[in-house]
Structures are given as structure tokens and as C-alpha cells.
Amino acid sequence: MRKCVLVALLSSFSFGTLFAQEKQDSPEVLNRQSDAKDVIRAFFRKKTTIDTGEKHPYFSILPSAGFNPSVGLSIGVTSTGGKNYGNPNTTTFSVYNANAYISTYGLASFELKENVFTADNEFNIQGGVQIGKTVALDYGVGTGHAVQGEGSFSINSFPLANNADVFPIDYTYIKFSERIYKKIFDHIYVGAGFVADIYTNIDDERRLGTNLSTHNVRYSRLNDYPSDGYQANGFLFNFEYNSRDQTNRPYKGLYIDLVLRTNQHWLGSNHEAMQLKTELRKYWSLSKKDPEHVIAFWLWGSYLLRGAIPYLELPGTGSDAAGRLGRAYTIGRFKGPSFYYNEAEYRFPITSNKLLGGVVFANMETADNQRTIKLFQYVEPGAGIGLRLLFNKYTRSNLCIDYGRGNYGSNGLFLGLNEVF
């Protein structure tokens, strides 16, 4: 729950010829850049040393605060760090992310995630753990439907005003996921893993009020799930292609991840199910002089092949690993047993020292509801602009502040550390 400070911008841009990029993180290049730490150092009149290739701080931390009627006043912290475990020319930079928050309504969350590459990219390890008590705002299943009273301004995926037609669901959760990929050819990996998602103390706050049958209750009854707690545990079978030059903010390359997930009774799942999860990210640098001019494309999908999954497991807005999918809409605004999303973004530097940059983005998402709404029957668009502050030039970490607008009056500010994708 990363809350924000405001900003907005537009910048004109031009397209150039595509160029291959090499050694963009060399000391010579980094000495011409300024990040937030350089600005603070200059403010206090401390001398900036010349980069000689020695060790640098690869850890960044960002405090956060915010307010939402369902959450209360919250304070927290977002951090990112990294390390290279081999020759930088042949080993992708490894990334760690940790987030935590606590609110005045007794909600709290902690998560730790890693994306690690061993020497020469022989293995890629992805996963993490999340623990907490939180609230989900429930808009129902499928795309193509407005919610009465929708349109209040949101900050980082949570609206500033409550909506009587949106059902809050309190719950506690433990999520664990770990998968290991082995390189079999250049850029190509295969692997397997394990996932456990446990939900308890689910409190559908309005199930005893005027609306006796909420979206969560109806779905749970239809699919024979208890509405107060359940598990979805299973195995993961993976295929990955990764030629990105960096993980936090790539300038070039292609990333493809295909995951087959099978939930099993004997592992504790309430029901067996099989899902196919797909992800593709492609990056084109448009300038040899300024490689930060990038066109980026993102495709993300999750498709239910058989069985049933719990209501709080339905893929949708904010369901990606970083929880930032679907800028322009509140988290969980659209979801369904099967869900598809794609986005295109243009990234560009604003200042010559690369301290400030900008983005222009457009996206769309669609979901089914198992009955009357089919995938791609209704498409929900979103678009917006954003500002980037170079937070740590050695890890290419950015502070991201975006403004997005979508259907049904949806609009808001979205803050994060590192690029959305």
C-alpha cells in the first residue's frame, strides 16, 4: 500500500532508430547521471565523488502514508535492493523487494519478494512470502458493468470515498510461492515450483445487511466454497525466455513466462483446479545517445482450464506480482476466472542528467464471469501520464508517480518504486 505525493507532466517526444545498447551502467555513463541521493548530497554541499567502479549502495527505501475509509490512516515503507552474483556481462542483476504497512483500523501487511539470477544465469529463482490482514473492495465479477456512484478520485488503487455499491471484505492471509528455473539454452529456462495461498477470517462486512447476497457469497455458493476461509495450494510448471538487459528498468530485450498451476486436494486445496498464466514483456530502445527512450509492451493473462478457484484468488486488476496492473482503476475493480490484460508505454528522459523522466501509457483489460460475460466481450481501457524520479542510478530504481483515467469516471494517482513492468 504505497501512498503518494502529487505530480503531473506532459512532454513532447520523437521516435528514432533502434540501436543496440552496451555498457549503459558503466562508471563513465553513471557519472553523467544524477539520482535522488546526489541531489540530497548536493543540497548539504557534500562533495560528489567520481565513480571509480567500486561498490555502491544497491538498496533504496521509500516511506509511505495514506488514507482510505475502509483502511483508515496507514503508514508504511517500500524498499528495493539488488546484487549481481556473477560477471555483470553474463549475469542478470538480481532484485529484492520488501513492503510493509500498518493502519489505524488494525490492518497490516508484510511482503518479501525476490528475482535472483545465479552466476552466468544458470538458475533463476523467483518467489516470495506475504502475510497480513487487509481489506478487498469487491466490485463483482467480469467486465462491462458500471457501479453506481463510481468515479471518486483514488490514490494508489484505493478510492478516497466509500461507495455503497462496493462490498468490502476483511480477511487475513498467508501467501508463499517459490519457483526455480534452470537454463537449458541461451535465454531459455524451464522449471517448477510450489505455491500456497491461505485465507482465513474472511468477513464479508455487508452479508448481514441490506444486501444479504454479496458477490463473494454468490460466487462461493455457486462453486461450493466456504465463504469464511479456504486454501489454494499446488504445483507450478514453468517455461521462461529472458533476454532483458536489466530487471528493474530494462532498455531492451524480451521476457516470456508461461506457468501451469495445478491446485491439489492432498496439498490442502478445497478444490482441484488448473490455470495457465502467461506473461510477455518487450522493450525497444529508440536512441543510442539516450537509451532511456523506450517503447515497452506488456501482456498478462490467467486462464482457468478446469476446476474452480476461490473468490479472493480470481485474477484481475492488480493481480500481477507487483500488484500494479491496471493503472486507471482501483485494485480488484475487474476480475474473473479468466482475465487478460495488455499495456503499451513510452518512456523518455526529461533532464539531461536523467534525474527526471516521463511516461505515457495506455492499457486494456477484460474478464469473464463464468456465466453471461465472456472473455473479450467487454474491454475496459485506461490511459495516463507519469513522472519518474531516478531514485538509485546503480540499480536503475525509479520513483513512479502516474495519473490514469478509465471508464465509468475512474481516475487517480498511482505511486510505486521501480517501473510498473
Q: What is the DSSP string of 158-211?
A: EESS--TTSEEEEEEEEEEEEEEEEEEETTEEEEEEEEEEEEEEEEETTTTSS-
Which residue has cell 484481475?
316
CA 181, 305, 214, 216: dihedral to nearest 10 degrees? -30
Residue with cell 539470477: 117
CA angle 335/321/402 to nearest 5° reads 80
Q: The C-alpha cell of 315 is what?
A: 485474477
- Work out the burial of residue 17: count CB atoms within 10 Å of its CB; fewer than 13 is exposed, 13-18 middle, 19 or more buried: exposed
Name residues whose C-beta falls within 8 Å of residue 257's C-beta, 6 or more positions apart in sequence: 238, 239, 240, 277, 278, 279, 280
Residues 108, 92: contact at Cβ < 8 Å?
no
**Which 8-state DSSP code applies to residue 106?**
S
Distance CA 119, CA 93 (A): 10
All 3 cell numbers of residue 14?
Answer: 520523437
CATH number of 27-417: 2.40.160.50
Q: 3-state class of 32 per DSSP?
A: coil
> Mind giving me the DSSP string for 211-259?
-SS-HHHHHHHHTT--SS-EEEEEEEEEEEEE--S-SSS-SSEEEEEEE
Alpha-carbon distance of 250 to 294, in angstroms, equals: 9
Amino acid 88: pLDDT: 87
pLDDT of residue 206: 61
The three-state secondary structure class of 41 is: helix
C-alpha 80/C-alpha 417 separation (Å) is: 8
Alpha carbon distance 174, 198 (integer Å): 5
Q: What is the pLDDT along the chain (421 residues), one digit of tens a residue?
A: 333 333 332 232 333 333 333 456 666 777 777 776 777 667 666 555 544 444 555 777 878 777 777 777 889 888 888 888 999 889 998 989 899 999 988 899 999 999 999 999 999 999 999 999 999 889 999 999 887 667 778 887 778 777 777 888 999 999 999 999 999 999 999 999 999 999 999 988 665 554 457 888 889 999 999 988 999 999 999 999 999 999 889 999 999 999 999 999 999 999 999 999 999 999 999 998 899 999 999 999 999 999 999 999 999 999 998 889 999 998 899 999 999 999 999 999 999 989 999 999 999 999 999 889 999 999 999 999 999 999 888 888 899 999 999 999 899 999 888 899 9
pTM of the shown model: 0.84
